[in-house]
Copies of this chain bind each other. A is one copy, B any other.
Amino acid sequence: MTPTPQTLTAERILEATEEVLRRHGPAKATVVDVARALGVSHGSVYRHFSTKAALREAVTKRWLDRTSDSLSGIVAEDRDPEARLRDWFTALFAAKRRKAGDDPELFATYMVLTEESGGAVGEHLAELTGQLRRMVQAGVEAGTFSTDDPDATARALFHASRRFHDPRYAPEWEQPGTEAEFDAVVDLLLRGLKA
Protein backbone atom coordinates (compact mmCIF):
# COMPACT_ATOMS: atom_id res chain seq x y z
CA MET A 1 0.00 0.00 0.00
CA THR A 2 3.01 2.31 -0.28
CA PRO A 3 2.59 5.23 -2.71
CA THR A 4 4.74 5.54 -5.86
CA PRO A 5 7.45 7.98 -4.65
CA GLN A 6 9.28 5.41 -2.51
CA THR A 7 13.02 5.31 -2.00
CA LEU A 8 15.02 5.56 -5.17
CA THR A 9 16.21 2.12 -6.26
CA ALA A 10 18.08 0.75 -9.29
CA GLU A 11 14.96 -1.16 -10.26
CA ARG A 12 12.78 1.97 -10.29
CA ILE A 13 15.38 3.81 -12.34
CA LEU A 14 15.43 0.99 -14.90
CA GLU A 15 11.65 1.07 -15.23
CA ALA A 16 11.65 4.83 -15.71
CA THR A 17 14.46 4.56 -18.27
CA GLU A 18 12.50 1.99 -20.29
CA GLU A 19 9.54 4.34 -20.30
CA VAL A 20 11.66 7.33 -21.37
CA LEU A 21 13.28 5.27 -24.14
CA ARG A 22 9.87 4.13 -25.34
CA ARG A 23 8.62 7.73 -25.44
CA HIS A 24 11.64 9.65 -26.75
CA GLY A 25 13.63 7.01 -28.66
CA PRO A 26 17.31 6.17 -28.14
CA ALA A 27 18.70 9.39 -29.66
CA LYS A 28 16.75 11.84 -27.50
CA ALA A 29 16.44 9.96 -24.22
CA THR A 30 18.56 11.82 -21.67
CA VAL A 31 19.31 11.02 -18.04
CA VAL A 32 17.77 14.38 -17.19
CA ASP A 33 14.52 13.01 -18.66
CA VAL A 34 14.82 9.89 -16.52
CA ALA A 35 15.42 11.97 -13.39
CA ARG A 36 12.46 14.22 -14.20
CA ALA A 37 10.20 11.17 -14.68
CA LEU A 38 11.21 10.03 -11.20
CA GLY A 39 10.94 13.45 -9.60
CA VAL A 40 14.60 13.55 -8.55
CA SER A 41 17.69 15.42 -9.69
CA HIS A 42 19.84 13.76 -12.33
CA GLY A 43 22.71 13.61 -9.85
CA SER A 44 20.74 10.96 -7.92
CA VAL A 45 20.60 8.70 -10.94
CA TYR A 46 24.41 8.73 -11.09
CA ARG A 47 24.46 7.37 -7.55
CA HIS A 48 23.05 4.07 -8.90
CA PHE A 49 24.56 3.98 -12.42
CA SER A 50 28.01 5.49 -12.83
CA THR A 51 27.44 6.30 -16.48
CA LYS A 52 24.71 6.83 -19.02
CA ALA A 53 26.17 3.90 -20.98
CA ALA A 54 25.98 1.66 -17.89
CA LEU A 55 22.33 2.59 -17.41
CA ARG A 56 21.49 1.81 -21.02
CA GLU A 57 23.36 -1.48 -20.87
CA ALA A 58 21.41 -2.50 -17.77
CA VAL A 59 18.14 -1.80 -19.58
CA THR A 60 19.39 -3.85 -22.54
CA LYS A 61 20.35 -6.75 -20.31
CA ARG A 62 16.88 -6.88 -18.76
CA TRP A 63 15.31 -6.93 -22.19
CA LEU A 64 17.58 -9.69 -23.50
CA ASP A 65 17.10 -11.75 -20.35
CA ARG A 66 13.34 -11.71 -20.83
CA THR A 67 13.83 -13.52 -24.16
CA SER A 68 16.26 -16.14 -22.83
CA ASP A 69 14.03 -16.79 -19.82
CA SER A 70 11.00 -17.46 -21.99
CA LEU A 71 12.98 -20.00 -24.02
CA SER A 72 14.53 -21.79 -21.07
CA GLY A 73 11.17 -23.40 -20.40
CA ILE A 74 11.36 -25.35 -23.66
CA VAL A 75 14.91 -26.48 -22.86
CA ALA A 76 13.80 -27.82 -19.49
CA GLU A 77 10.90 -29.89 -20.84
CA ASP A 78 11.13 -33.68 -20.68
CA ARG A 79 10.53 -34.47 -24.34
CA ASP A 80 12.13 -35.66 -27.57
CA PRO A 81 15.19 -33.39 -28.11
CA GLU A 82 14.46 -33.02 -31.81
CA ALA A 83 10.94 -31.74 -31.11
CA ARG A 84 12.28 -29.41 -28.42
CA LEU A 85 14.92 -28.02 -30.76
CA ARG A 86 12.33 -27.39 -33.45
CA ASP A 87 10.00 -25.68 -30.97
CA TRP A 88 12.87 -23.63 -29.57
CA PHE A 89 13.77 -22.23 -33.00
CA THR A 90 10.11 -21.62 -33.77
CA ALA A 91 9.53 -19.83 -30.46
CA LEU A 92 12.65 -17.68 -30.89
CA PHE A 93 11.69 -16.66 -34.42
CA ALA A 94 8.06 -16.02 -33.45
CA ALA A 95 9.05 -13.90 -30.44
CA LYS A 96 11.47 -11.77 -32.43
CA ARG A 97 9.08 -11.33 -35.32
CA ARG A 98 6.24 -10.37 -33.01
CA LYS A 99 8.33 -7.76 -31.24
CA ALA A 100 9.52 -6.27 -34.52
CA GLY A 101 6.02 -6.24 -36.01
CA ASP A 102 4.01 -5.03 -33.01
CA ASP A 103 6.06 -1.97 -32.13
CA PRO A 104 8.67 -1.21 -34.80
CA GLU A 105 9.85 1.96 -33.08
CA LEU A 106 10.55 0.25 -29.78
CA PHE A 107 12.25 -2.58 -31.66
CA ALA A 108 14.47 -0.05 -33.47
CA THR A 109 15.28 1.49 -30.10
CA TYR A 110 16.49 -1.82 -28.73
CA MET A 111 18.49 -2.45 -31.91
CA VAL A 112 20.43 0.74 -31.23
CA LEU A 113 20.88 -0.27 -27.60
CA THR A 114 22.17 -3.76 -28.42
CA GLU A 115 24.64 -2.34 -30.93
CA GLU A 116 26.20 -0.14 -28.29
CA SER A 117 26.25 -2.64 -25.40
CA GLY A 118 28.60 -5.35 -26.63
CA GLY A 119 29.06 -6.99 -23.25
CA ALA A 120 25.40 -7.71 -22.51
CA VAL A 121 24.88 -9.01 -26.05
CA GLY A 122 27.84 -11.37 -25.74
CA GLU A 123 26.39 -12.84 -22.55
CA HIS A 124 23.00 -13.22 -24.19
CA LEU A 125 24.48 -15.09 -27.16
CA ALA A 126 26.40 -17.33 -24.78
CA GLU A 127 23.18 -18.08 -22.87
CA LEU A 128 21.29 -18.99 -26.05
CA THR A 129 24.02 -21.26 -27.41
CA GLY A 130 24.18 -22.82 -23.93
CA GLN A 131 20.48 -23.67 -24.18
CA LEU A 132 21.07 -25.17 -27.63
CA ARG A 133 24.01 -27.21 -26.33
CA ARG A 134 21.88 -28.75 -23.59
CA MET A 135 19.29 -29.93 -26.11
CA VAL A 136 21.98 -31.26 -28.46
CA GLN A 137 23.58 -33.17 -25.60
CA ALA A 138 20.22 -34.61 -24.60
CA GLY A 139 19.79 -35.84 -28.18
CA VAL A 140 23.26 -37.37 -28.24
CA GLU A 141 22.57 -39.19 -24.95
CA ALA A 142 19.23 -40.41 -26.30
CA GLY A 143 21.02 -41.69 -29.39
CA THR A 144 18.98 -39.62 -31.89
CA PHE A 145 21.72 -37.03 -32.56
CA SER A 146 25.37 -37.57 -33.39
CA THR A 147 28.21 -35.05 -33.01
CA ASP A 148 31.74 -35.16 -31.68
CA ASP A 149 31.59 -31.61 -30.24
CA PRO A 150 28.16 -30.59 -28.90
CA ASP A 151 29.36 -27.10 -28.06
CA ALA A 152 30.66 -26.39 -31.56
CA THR A 153 27.49 -27.88 -33.02
CA ALA A 154 25.33 -25.66 -30.81
CA ARG A 155 27.18 -22.59 -32.04
CA ALA A 156 26.82 -23.80 -35.63
CA LEU A 157 23.06 -24.19 -35.14
CA PHE A 158 22.88 -20.69 -33.75
CA HIS A 159 24.84 -19.08 -36.57
CA ALA A 160 23.04 -21.04 -39.30
CA SER A 161 19.71 -19.69 -38.06
CA ARG A 162 20.71 -16.04 -37.65
CA ARG A 163 18.70 -14.99 -40.68
CA PHE A 164 15.67 -15.74 -38.45
CA HIS A 165 16.60 -14.15 -35.15
CA ASP A 166 19.25 -11.50 -35.82
CA PRO A 167 17.35 -8.17 -35.60
CA ARG A 168 19.25 -6.84 -38.59
CA TYR A 169 17.13 -9.10 -40.81
CA ALA A 170 13.85 -7.88 -39.29
CA PRO A 171 12.76 -6.01 -42.47
CA GLU A 172 12.87 -9.35 -44.36
CA TRP A 173 10.81 -11.27 -41.81
CA GLU A 174 7.48 -10.02 -43.11
CA GLN A 175 8.17 -10.79 -46.76
CA PRO A 176 6.22 -13.71 -48.26
CA GLY A 177 8.08 -16.99 -48.32
CA THR A 178 9.99 -16.31 -45.11
CA GLU A 179 8.03 -18.95 -43.22
CA ALA A 180 8.93 -21.57 -45.87
CA GLU A 181 12.59 -20.51 -45.77
CA PHE A 182 12.61 -20.90 -42.01
CA ASP A 183 11.18 -24.41 -42.27
CA ALA A 184 13.69 -25.38 -44.97
CA VAL A 185 16.64 -24.20 -42.89
CA VAL A 186 15.44 -25.93 -39.70
CA ASP A 187 14.73 -29.15 -41.60
CA LEU A 188 18.21 -29.11 -43.13
CA LEU A 189 19.86 -28.47 -39.77
CA LEU A 190 17.93 -31.17 -37.93
CA ARG A 191 18.71 -33.65 -40.72
CA GLY A 192 22.38 -32.86 -40.37
CA LEU A 193 22.13 -33.51 -36.65
CA LYS A 194 20.57 -36.98 -36.86
CA ALA A 195 22.62 -40.00 -35.88
Residues on A lying within 8 angstroms of B by beta carbon are 149, 152-153, 155-157, 159-163, 168, 180-181, 184-185, 187-193
B163 and A185: CB pair below 8 A?
no
Chain B positions within 8 Å of A162 at CB level: 162-163
Identity of the chain B residue whose Cβ is nearest the Cβ of A155 in the assembled complex: B181
Identity of the chain B residue whose Cβ is nearest the Cβ of A184 in the assembled complex: B156
B159 and A185: CB pair below 8 A?
yes
B181 and A192: CB pair below 8 A?
no
B193 and A188: CB pair below 8 A?
yes
Q: Which of B153, B159, B161, B188 contacts A157 (CB 8 A)?
A: B188
The 26 sampled A-B contact pairs (Cβ below 8 Å) are A149-B184, A152-B180, A152-B184, A153-B184, A153-B188, A155-B181, A155-B184, A156-B181, A156-B187, A156-B188, A159-B163, A159-B181, A160-B160, A160-B161, A160-B185, A160-B188, A160-B189, A168-B168, A188-B189, A188-B193, A189-B189, A189-B192, A190-B192, A191-B192, A191-B193, A192-B192
A181 CA to B168 CA, complexed, in Å:
20
A168 CA to B190 CA, complexed, in Å:
26
A147 vs chain B, min Cβ distance (A): 9
The 6 closest A-B pairs by CB, nearest first: A192-B192, A156-B184, A191-B192, A160-B160, A188-B192, A159-B163
Chain B positions within 8 Å of A153 at CB level: 184, 188
